[in-house]
Amino acid sequence: MSEYIVMVGFWLRAYDSFAVEADSDRDAIAQAKVAAKTAMESAASPEHIEIGERRQGIIVFIDRITRDGRQAVIEDVPFTSEHVRISTG
């Protein structure tokens, strides 16, 4: 039997909130877009991460461990909780 290393990434839902001051609804939407971009680029942790909704992700890689080191089996395989599409050919 062979040993494999598997790395999986999950798409999680992260939530943050912030206040903006605006002169109109249109201005509030524009400022919210700027604040959202800033929040996405931030390295700070969001207020809430929904870990119960892991329904999609990617198998980043599967490597087989051999005497000569690691050998790649597959990479970048998207999946949902219902289906994984792996093409081995």
CA pseudo-torsion sign 33, 36, 37, 38: positive
Asked if pLDDT for residue 12 goes beyond 90, the answer is no
> 33 in a domain, yes or no?
yes
Looking at residue 86, its pLDDT comes to 61
For residues 10-33, average pLDDT: 91
pTM > 0.95: yes or no: no
User: Quick check: is 60 in a domain?
Assistant: yes
In a domain, 85, yes or no: no
Residue 13 forms part of a structural domain: yes
Residue 88 lies in a domain: no
Look up the domain containing 75 and give its range.
Answer: 3-80
* Domains in the chain, number: 1
pLDDT tens string 45-56: 999 988 877 778
Supply the pLDDT for residue 54.
75
